Structure 1
């Protein structure tokens, strides 16, 4: 599936910000056989004093942006074309869940994609006994690891209510799970913590999701959203799979990957420090448009 993607992240400040330094993760990843990225343009307002791009440890494209003059807003606009490939070849059978620990014990790689980086506690994920019990009630230990991932995602989707007003970007996953309410970030952090609680390596995926308007309705500009889902390591043969607990499905051609990390703290779209005595308000808008739709609209314009 070929998409034209536009994404805007904006912060407005209550007063002049004298200086600022930000780390930005907004560039979609090129993933051989999975996702191809075409020409990409990024505009930053105001013009930064310094801007440098690099790949982080996990292979994500990032940019460090520095401002040294007073400003009252900060805006990043990205436009790109991405092709998400349909994967038709079947994956090797997943290892049995009760054999996963043994397979991990034989893993000694510390490469960025190693499952060893995705176990235990990270800044926003804390495995715990409550989630361990939640997972172990799902299926017998002889079930495949992939089945455990799917069953957990389906149960979370059933037990949780999507509620954009219930949490904020800083809400702890323990609190979101206790209330059974949250957004895609909460669903994903809960699922990651639950998987790690039973020894399954799991990480966070930041990306975009193509959404469909209701029947008979036109798409609204900015109606698509930045999204988050989970990747889980299901053994040396199967490797990593990606699951979207918010929508109870394995990831498909509607999901566009921007960055991989251990949790949100590794891949947040914009983070940084600034010198200011006032508050701030942030917003974002995303459009993920299949190219055939974009070309059809142009033909009728």
Structure 2
């Protein structure tokens, strides 16, 4: 499936910001067998005094930009064309959850794909008793690791309510779980905490999700959004799988990956430091456009 992706993030500052520096993770990357990037281009306005593009430890594209003179607004615009490939269904060859530790121990590497990085506490996610107990109650004796991932993800979809006003980007997973409300970030971080609590390595995926308008209604420009879902390591035979607890499904052709990490802190689209006074406002608009929507298609411009 081919997609054109357009993203605009704008920040405006009440008082001009001096010495602003941002770390941006918005450029999708190639993922063997799953995703191929045909073009990508990130525009920054006003033009930064410094710009550096590189890969982080997890293989995510990151762009560092900095301004040394006062500015009162920043606009980040992404244009990309991405091919998303179907992942064939596999037999469930994952071990029982109680035996997954043996598979983890057999991995003799600490590269970015190693499950060891995704087992314990990370900067924003710490396994907490309530999530661990929740997962343990769902995982029956002999249940495979893959079945365990499905059981926890589907239960969270059933028991949590999507509520964009219940949490903020800073809300801890334990607080969102106590409310049983939140957005995709909360669903994802709670599921990660629950899986880690029962010994299933899991991490955070940031990207784009194609959405569909109501029947008979035109697709609204800017209606799509950045999304988050879970990747879990279910043994050496299968490796990593990706599940979206917000929508109770595996990540398939409608999902475009931007970044992998242990939690949101590793994949945040924009992080930065600044010297200023007063507040700021932000605005985001996203379009994920399938190429077969010819009447709405705007070709991606440029490439990195």
The residue that corresponds to 1:256 in the other structure is 256
Paired residues of 1:92 and 1:237 also in contact (CA < 8 A): no
Matched, 1:296 2:283: no
Report the equivalent of 1:165. 165
Deviation at 1:92, TM superposition (A): 5.5
User: Which residue of the partner structure matches residue 194 of structure 1?
Assistant: 194
Residue aligning to 2:301: none
What's the CA shift for 1:298?
6.4
Q: List per-residue Cα deviations over 1:157-189 (Å, max 9, x = no partner).
A: 010000001101001111100000000000000
CA–CA separation in structure 1 for the residues paired with 2:275 and 2:296? 44
In structure 1, the residue matched to 2:277 is: 277
Shift of 1:11: 1.1
| 1:289–1:298 Cα change, 3 Å | closer
Output the CA distance in 1 between the equivalents of 2:128 and 2:186. 16
Write the distance in 1 (CA, Å) between the matches of 2:106 and 2:14.
Answer: 54
Q: Distance in 1 between matches of 2:63 and 2:296?
A: 33
> What is the CA–CA distance in structure 2 between the aligned matches of 1:297 and 1:231, rounded to whole Å?
32
RMSD of aligned alpha carbons: 1.3
How far apart are residue 96 of structure 1 and its match?
A: 1.4
Task: Render the CA deviation track for 1:8-31: whole Å, top value 9, x for unaligned.
Answer: 111111111111111000001211
Match of 1:61 in 2: 61
Structure 2: where are the runs of 5+ without partners?
299-304
Corresponding residue of 1:115: 115
Q: Give distance in 2, aligned partners of 1:288 and 1:226.
A: 10
Q: Which residue number corresponds to residue 22 of structure 1?
A: 22
Alpha-carbon separation, structure 2, partners of 1:89 and 1:148: 17
Aligned to 2:103: 103
- How many Å apart are 1:242 and its aligned residue? 0.1
Deviation at 1:108, TM superposition (A): 2.5
Which stretch of structure 1 is more off in the superposition, 88-97 or 14-23?
Answer: 88-97
Distance in 2, Cα, partners of 1:283 & 1:145: 40
Whether the 8 Å CA contact 2:5–2:289 is kept in 1: the answer is: yes
The whole-number CA distance in structure 2 between the counterparts of 1:208 and 1:50 is 28
What's the CA shift string for 1:56-106, capped at 9, x where partnerless? Answer: 000000010011111111110000100101123525521211110122122
**Distance in 1 (alpha carbons) for counterparts of 2:139 and 2:275:** 51
> Aligned in 2, Cα 1:298/1:38: closer, same or farther, shift over 3 Å?
closer
- Secondary structure at 2:140 match in 1: coil
SS state of the match for residue 189, structure 2? helix
CA shift, 1:297, in A, is 4.0
How far does residue 141 in structure 1 lie from its aligned partner after superposition? 2.9
- For structure 1, the residue ranges without an aligned partner over 5 or more in a row are none
CA distance in 2, matches of 1:7, 1:91: 37
Alignment of 1:186-265 (within 5 A): 186-265=186-265
**Residues 97-128 of structure 1 deviation map (CA, whole Å, 9 limit, x = unaligned):** 11101221222310011000001111110102
Q: Distance in 1 between matches of 2:101 and 2:59?
A: 26
Taking the aligned partners of 2:125 and 2:91, their CA distance within structure 1 comes to: 28
Deviation at 1:150, TM superposition (A): 0.4
**TM score, norm. by length of structure 1:** 0.97
Aligned pair in 2 of structure 1 residues 298, 237: CA closer, same or farther (>3 Å)?
closer
User: In the superposition, relative to structure 1, how do residues 254 and 274 fare at CA in structure 2: closer, same or farther (>3 Å)?
Assistant: same
TM-score, normalised to structure 2, is 0.96
